[in-house]
């Protein structure tokens, strides 16, 4: 008998490893493994979510009309150029399946976000990873990898798991150097946290032509990772493609209601941004003082570099004995590093104290 088999490239994919949330035998864990934000769920979103329980027999609005209107109002964008997805991951898959495929290459940087590789391979594309400089995407290396087969270029900006950011002028240079028929996808999952003035999440480049897409998510600063909701701002032709291929009811009633309420939560984003602006430098300074190299980050997390994998693994194990879950990033080719989310003030303090003890040989 012959067993059913997927396309061969499917079995080349390593399953995505998410941040862990439990430690066997430990009751109170500090989960700093998935960059979920330090303040939990916006209260208004919790309330909106509860209210939807009475409507769950209804299909959601497949066009997410009200949510797109709310996003448009918030970011001053035309709702007709917005499409929502079950997390931005969903939209990454749709882009890869629609624009990638056999003989259609995808370019990403060496330590770019893992889903680009998974979704691109699934689509049947060759996914080319280009070298970085100081763990930052290198525009020249990306342009050098372009061939007539290139169809998609993914850039997470800021990038996860490195935290590095590419300034607007460099992103514009990337766009200008790509053939017009190559779709550039700018994934700005951490846009709200960026403080550098030379940053743009991608809106300008989306507006400037018909070959660039910006992705955003409710999973990070908006505190709704569990709801699965993200969105794209894209040219009309790309919106048209999304609406042909996406699952028609990809965003649940509960997710739409929670996201609308999260956008309306007074001061929520400002609070998250201010907290990060204070505690990311504190976390960085504390770890640096302990003797750990910390890479510059524009996200709500830092990449702690222990120089060798053994040391990173030992640090991870030590953190776990204290109930702290960081994120090993060996799957990203960074086995000597741990990614650590900027948590509450107490969590930041515990991480610093624990790793200081570790570095002293504790
Ligand atoms: C967290 C993250 C996302 C968001 O994923 P969702 O599917 O929206 O939860 C997208 N891109 C990057 C780079 C991320 O870190």
Cα 219 to ligand 1 centroid, rounded to whole Å: 7
- What residues contact 183, with CB distance under 8 A and at least 6 apart? 95, 99, 151, 152, 153, 211, 212, 213, 238
Instruction: Report the DSSP pairing between strands 132-133 and 136-137.
Output: antiparallel
Whether the pTM exceeds 0.95: the reply is yes
Name the residue at shortest CA distance from atom 12 of ligand 1.
189
The 10s digit of each residue's pLDDT in 146-190 is 999 999 999 999 999 999 999 999 999 999 999 999 999 999 999
Q: Which residues pair with 105 in a beta bridge?
A: 150
* 3-state SS string for 187-244: ECCCHHHCCCCCCCCCHHHHHHCCCEEEEEECCCCCCCHHHCCEEEECCHHHHHHHHH
Q: Does the beta carbon of 328 lie inside 6 Å of ligand 1?
A: no
Which whole number is the average pLDDT over 294-319?
98
The 10s digit of each residue's pLDDT in 19-38 is 888 888 888 899 999 999 89
Report the 10 Å Cβ neighbour count for 360: 9
The 10s digit of each residue's pLDDT in 276-299 is 999 999 999 999 999 999 999 999
Ligand 1 pocket test target in 109, 220, 228, 341 with most atoms within 8 Å of CB: 220
Cα 89 to ligand 1 centroid, rounded to whole Å: 6
Q: Which atom of ligand 1 is nearest to the CA of 218?
A: 8
Q: Where in the chain is the domain with CATH 3.90.1150.10?
A: 8-31+268-359
Say how far apart CA 299 and CA 165 lie, in whole Å.
Answer: 9
pLDDT given for residue 298 in this prediction: 98
Which whole number is the average pLDDT over 213-234?
98
Choices 3.90.1150.10, 1.10.1040.50, 3.40.50.970, 3.40.50.880: CATH for 8-31+268-359: 3.90.1150.10
Q: Does the beta carbon of 77 lie inside 6 Å of ligand 1?
A: no
Q: Does the beta carbon of 354 lie inside 6 Å of ligand 1?
A: no
The 10s digit of each residue's pLDDT in 320-329 is 999 999 999 9
Q: Where in the chain is the domain with CATH 3.40.640.10?
A: 43-264
Ligand 1 pocket test target in 187, 192, 227 with most atoms within 8 Å of CB: 187
Burial 193-232 (b: 16+ CB within 10 A, else e): bbeeeebbbbbebbeeeebbbbbbbbbbbbbbbebbbbbb
Say how far apart CA 199 and CA 183 lie, in whole Å.
Answer: 20
Record: fold of 43-264: 3.40.640
Cα 2 to ligand 1 centroid, rounded to whole Å: 38
Structure tokens at 73: 């109002």
**How does the average pLDDT of the chain come out, rounded?**
97
Q: Is the pLDDT of residue 207 over 70?
A: yes
Which whole number is the average pLDDT over 245-252?
97
Q: Is the pLDDT of residue 362 over 80?
A: no
């Amino acid at each position: 008998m012959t067993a059913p088999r997927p396309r061969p490239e499917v079995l080349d994919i390593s399953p995505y490893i998410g941040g862990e949330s439990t430690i066997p035998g430990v009751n109170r864990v500090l989960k700093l493994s998935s960059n979920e934000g330090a303040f939990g769920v916006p209260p208004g979103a919790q309330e909106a979510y509860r209210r939807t329980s009475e409507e769950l027999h209804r299909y959601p609005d497949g066009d997410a009309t009200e949510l797109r209107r709310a996003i448009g109002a918030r970011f001053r964008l035309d709702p007709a150029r917005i499409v929502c997805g079950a997390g931005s991951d969903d939209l990454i898959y749709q882009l890869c399946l629609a624009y990638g495929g056999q003989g259609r290459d995808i370019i990403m940087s060496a330590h770019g976000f893992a889903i680009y590789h998974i979704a691109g391979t699934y689509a049947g594309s060759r996914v080319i990873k280009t070298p970085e400089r100081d763990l930052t995407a290198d525009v020249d290396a990306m342009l050098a990898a372009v061939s007539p087969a290139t169809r998609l270029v993914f850039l997470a900006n800021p990038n996860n798991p490195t935290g590095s950011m590419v300034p607007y002028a460099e992103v514009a240079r990337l766009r200008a150097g790509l053939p017009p028929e190559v779709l550039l996808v700018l994934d700005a999952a951490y846009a709200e946290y960026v403080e550098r003035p030379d940053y743009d999440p991608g809106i300008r480049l989306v507006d400037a032509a018909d070959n660039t897409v910006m992705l955003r998510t409710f999973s990070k600063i908006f505190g709704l990772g569990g709801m699965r909701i993200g969105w794209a701002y894209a040219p009309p032709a790309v919106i048209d493609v999304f609406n042909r291929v996406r699952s028609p009811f990809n965003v649940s009633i509960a997710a739409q209601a929670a996201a609308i309420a999260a956008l309306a939560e007074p001061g929520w984003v400002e609070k998250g941004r201010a907290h990060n602006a204070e505690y990311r430098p504190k976390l960085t300074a504390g770890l640096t003082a302990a003797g750990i190299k910390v890479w510059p980050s524009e996200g709500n997390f830092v990449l702690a570099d222990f120089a060798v994998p053994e040391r990173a693994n030992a640090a991870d194990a030590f953190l776990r004995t204290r109930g702290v879950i960081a994120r090993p990033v060996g799957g990203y080719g960074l086995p000597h590093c741990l990614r650590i989310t900027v948590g509450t003030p107490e969590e930041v303090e515990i991480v610093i104290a624990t790793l200081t003890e570790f570095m002293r040989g504790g």
